[in-house]
């Protein structure tokens, strides 16, 4: 694998850009691997990369039923932040943030990580008190956080509705300056290329249809490209964890729900940060192409369809206009849906399972993208050592039966209300 650099761009320019190597091999499955990771999204590819990079396990395959980056890693709204309240989440997402900060260099692939800052508006004194509590916890954990008053918010984002007629007047905001966005496709491609560089086989159009067992242990997988043996199998198929989990015999506290995202026609630079609306579920950033990228709530009923319903389009548009009346005449370019694993406490599940040889990474709700590097790092550790990484001990499957749920939203156990 040749390294990408300014020099390689110059050298390839001399030959008309015709001699670039493909970024990763089109691998066909070998009879068996030390580890098979199911799911060629961000988390699966990151897991494979860190298995090789951190643990020296290079006889690894990533099996993807479609194409690399065709699932949720290419369907999210690319926001990265580490402003979590609860112990377990706070430290995990900050570890992820630190990995994001070094990712382009570590992968030799520009993931266009842009720390433009993220703010969440507060619309009452009480809400701002709540944000101060959160900011204090972040700072005690060494994470940057600022509380802004109304005038400071206005200086930062003057295009929000500061008029006397605003339905929910802006009271202040919580701000994390290191938060931002990244190019999501580049994250998948960067991990795929770096994992391939370590010898990992990335096998696309290879759907897992069942598991091979020896007694109670899982020793491989049945796929549309035949049987493949494995010392260990890691599931990283958030959105479809229940489907594959059922094939393995796991009973899971997960429902699949569809979440929509939107992009408008390109505008001149307007939104310099990631802005989230504290009075409703709406958040927005502006892509490098100029489109406003935004999202809102789940559609709200179990769904495996990667498309959403018009009612949510209307609700999101209403929230958008309430926060930013200036975009009322901007036209929507595209909207799409992704299938989320929703857990009853809105926190993920990464752990060994009760089945020997099977490891679980799922339940990412709508927070999976920002977690990609830390998820891969910790899942690789869990698979390699058989024990949960210290940062994910709160993400065990047993937390629901022991009462140790990590309910960041405080929304109760209904997955579709998270």
Partner 1 sequence: MLRIECPCCGLRDHDEFRYGGDASVTRPAHDDPDPQAWYAYVYIRANPAGLHREFWQHVTGCRQWLVVERDTRNHAIASVELARKLAPRKSLARKSPA
- For partner 1, give the closer residue by CB, 246 or 409: 246
Q: What b/e readout covers 140-168, taking b as 16+ CB neighbours within 10 angstroms?
A: eeebbbebbebeebeebbeebbeeeeeeb
Q: List the interface residues with partner 1, window 186-245 (CB under 8 A).
A: 240, 242-243
67: number of Cβ within 10 Å: 12
253 binds partner 1 (CB under 8 A): yes
d(CA 407, CA 175): 22
79, 228 contact by CB (below 8 A): no
317 binds partner 1 (CB under 8 A): no
352 binds partner 1 (CB under 8 A): no
Which positions from 286 to 305 touch partner 1 by CB under 8 A, shown as an x/- string? Answer: --------------xxxxxx
251 binds partner 1 (CB under 8 A): yes
- For partner 1, give the closer residue by CB, 103 or 340: 340
* Beta carbon of residue 9, minimum distance to partner 1 (angstroms, whole number): 44
- For partner 1, give the closer residue by CB, 91 or 303: 303
Per CB under 8 A, the list member of 255, 362, 376, 392 interacting with partner 1 is 255
Q: What b/e readout covers 125-139, taking b as 16+ CB neighbours within 10 angstroms?
A: eebbeebeebbebbe
- For partner 1, give the closer residue by CB, 196 or 341: 341
First to last CA, the chain: 43
- For partner 1, give the closer residue by CB, 19 or 414: 414
110: number of Cβ within 10 Å: 14
254 binds partner 1 (CB under 8 A): yes
311 binds partner 1 (CB under 8 A): yes
- For partner 1, give the closer residue by CB, 42 or 239: 239
Cα radius of gyration (the chain): 22
Number of residues that bind partner 1 (CB under 8 A): 26
Residues 6+ apart with CB under 8 A from 117: 175, 176, 177, 178, 179, 180, 272, 273, 274
3-class DSSP state of 321: helix
Residues near partner 1 (CB under 8 A) are: 240, 242-243, 246, 251-256, 300-305, 309-311, 344, 400-401, 413-416
């Amino acid at each position: 694998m040749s390294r990408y650099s300014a020099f390689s761009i110059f050298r390839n320019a001399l030959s008309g850009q015709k001699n670039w190597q493909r970024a990763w091999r089109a691998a066909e499955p070998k009879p068996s691997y030390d580890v098979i990771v199911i799911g060629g999204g961000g988390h699966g590819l990151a897991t494979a990369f860190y298995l090789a990079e951190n643990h020296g396990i290079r006889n690894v395959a990533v099996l993807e039923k479609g194409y690399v980056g065709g699932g949720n890693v290419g369907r999210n709204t690319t926001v990265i932040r580490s402003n979590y309240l609860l112990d377990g989440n706070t430290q995990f997402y900050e570890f992820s943030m630190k990995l994001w900060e070094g990712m382009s260099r570590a992968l030799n692939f520009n993931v266009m990580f842009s720390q433009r800052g993220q703010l969440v508006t507060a619309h009452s004194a009480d809400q701002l008190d709540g944000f101060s509590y959160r900011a204090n916890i972040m700072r005690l954990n060494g994470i940057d956080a600022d509380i802004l008053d109304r005038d400071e918010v206005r200086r930062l984002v003057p295009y929000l509705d500061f008029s006397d007629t605003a339905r929910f007047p802006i009271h202040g905001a919580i701000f994390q300056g290191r938060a931002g966005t990244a190019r999501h496709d580049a994250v998948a491609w960067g991990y795929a290329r770096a994992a391939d560089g370590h010898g990992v086989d990335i096998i696309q159009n290879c759907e897992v249809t069942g598991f091979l067992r020896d007694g109670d242990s899982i020793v491989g997988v049945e796929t549309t490209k035949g049987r493949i043996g494995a010392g260990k199998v890691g599931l990283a198929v958030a959105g479809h964890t229940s489907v594959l989990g059922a094939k393995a015999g796991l009973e899971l506290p997960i429902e699949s729900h569809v979440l929509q995202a939107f992009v408008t026609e390109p505008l001149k630079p307007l939104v310099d940060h990631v802005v989230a609306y504290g009075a409703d579920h709406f958040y927005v950033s502006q892509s490098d192409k100029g489109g406003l990228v935004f999202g809102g709530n789940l559609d709200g009923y179990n769904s495996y369809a990667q498309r959403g319903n018009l009612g949510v389009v209307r609700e999101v548009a209403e929230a958008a206009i309430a926060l930013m009346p200036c975009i009322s005449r901007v036209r929507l370019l595209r909207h799409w849906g992704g299938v989320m694993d929703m857990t009853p406490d809105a926190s993920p599940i990464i752990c060994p399972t009760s089945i020997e040889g099977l490891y679980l990474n799922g339940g990412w709700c709508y927070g999976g993208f920002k977690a990609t590097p830390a998820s891969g790092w910790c899942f690789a550790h869990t698979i390699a050592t058989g024990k949960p990484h210290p940062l994910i001990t709160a993400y065990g499957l047993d937390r629901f039966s022991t009462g140790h749920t990590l309910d960041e939203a405080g929304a109760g156990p209904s997955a579709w209300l998270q």
